[in-house]
A = this chain, B = another copy of it.
Amino acid sequence: MTAWIDRRALDLFAIEHPLLLAPMAGSGGSALAIAVARAGGLGAIPCASLSLDTIDAEVRTFRAAAPGSRINLNFFAHTPVSPTDDMTRRWLDRLAPYFAEFCVDVATLPKAGGRAPFDAAMCSLVSDLRPEVVSFHFGLPDDVLLDRVKATGAIVIASATTVAEGRWLQDRGCDAVIAQGYEAGGHRGNFLTDDMATQPGSIALVPQMVDALTVPVIAAGGIVDGRAMAAGLCLGASAVQLGTAFLLADEATSVTSHRNALRTARDDNTAVTNVLTGRPARGVVNRIMRELGVLSTDPLPFPLAGGPLTPLRAATEPDGLGDFQPLWSGQSGALAREAGAAQIVADVVEQAARLLRL
């Protein structure tokens, strides 16, 4: 067994290796969580776009297949914004050329479904299911809900994109903080700032976060192989969180167009965009990002911007195109492997341990 030097995250999560699976809506469910947990890491279930029944079923599936392993249930903590008619009109106007191109009837556009913030019903489910770890993205829920979660005995962790956000999370009782570097795929967890121009990369963020906090720091962003895992631990992180590394795993549920895009991923073809969901998130640059500009003032607030894209996505996705859909990936997508998740964990961990001479 590898003698990892910093045992804080290992003890907190009761894991063999300091490696967490990033919760990835649409790409990772119980199967991926089970594989990572069995391989000695911490599994996660992304719950923000799941129904309560599905969350319940996913947890039961996980516990049956990985008995004794802790599970991390991930929720969003954004504050929903009701758009004005002007905001809606501006976004639909911006998309009008696409609706014309794909013969979409604007009268039939869906609202953005899913991606609800953590609420009382989800909190009750947490009380029932008693997940050992609950994680939040986009800040934390209000004090009443947070207190209820903590009263279940759950370890609470959350993402910070700056040291200021990390301090905020620690001050509110987080047991560990995920330092999400700018390289990370998917939604940025930012909640105290909207300024993408000043977001720090992992090699800068992690050591400054470690210096500022007393709780363990989990490095995330751009970590796909053992070299980057070792780097994250050298930077002072107690563990690393990997998402992109598992997007092409056998157990991942990434759709074909997403997998196709990942196979073309390069160091320099992803960007942080808000045109797909209304919040900044990193993915492989696709047609809508290129044509609207990656960061725009026109999209509806999260998650509503994605609703009107649904028919455009439906019209293009069957051809394997990802022109109008999120192709979430970090900046190291080119290093993601097509293999079983347990093998990915084993290889990443082995390479990191070797580089650290453990």
Contacts and interface: CB of A to CB of B under 8 A. Distances in A.
Contact of A231 (B162, B195, B203, B331): B203
Contacts of A221: 201, 203
A213 to B, nearest CB: 12
Interface stretch (A18-26, A46-54, A222-230, A301-309): A222-230
A252 to B, nearest CB: 20
A13 interface: no
Interface stretch (A59-67, A114-122, A170-178, A262-270): A262-270
Oligomeric state, in copies: 2
Contacts of A271: 197-198
A266 B164 CA distance: 9
B222 A228 contact: no
Interface in A200-249: 200-205, 207-209, 211, 221-223, 225, 227-228, 230-232, 234-236
A356 B357 CA distance: 7
Interface in A153-188: 162-164, 181-183
Interface string A22-48: 000000000000000000000000000
A73 interface: no
A286 interface: no
A223 B200 contact: no
Nearest to A228: B203
A209 B267 CA distance: 9
Interface residues of A, number: 51
A340 B221 CA distance: 33
A243 to B, nearest CB: 13
Given A183-B203, A234-B231, A197 B357 contact: no
16 contacts: A164-B268, A183-B201, A183-B204, A197-B272, A198-B269, A201-B201, A203-B222, A207-B332, A207-B335, A208-B266, A211-B335, A227-B234, A230-B231, A231-B234, A234-B356, A356-B357
Interface of A: 162-164, 181-183, 193, 195, 197-205, 207-209, 211, 221-223, 225, 227-228, 230-232, 234-236, 266-272, 285, 294-295, 330-332, 334-335, 355-357
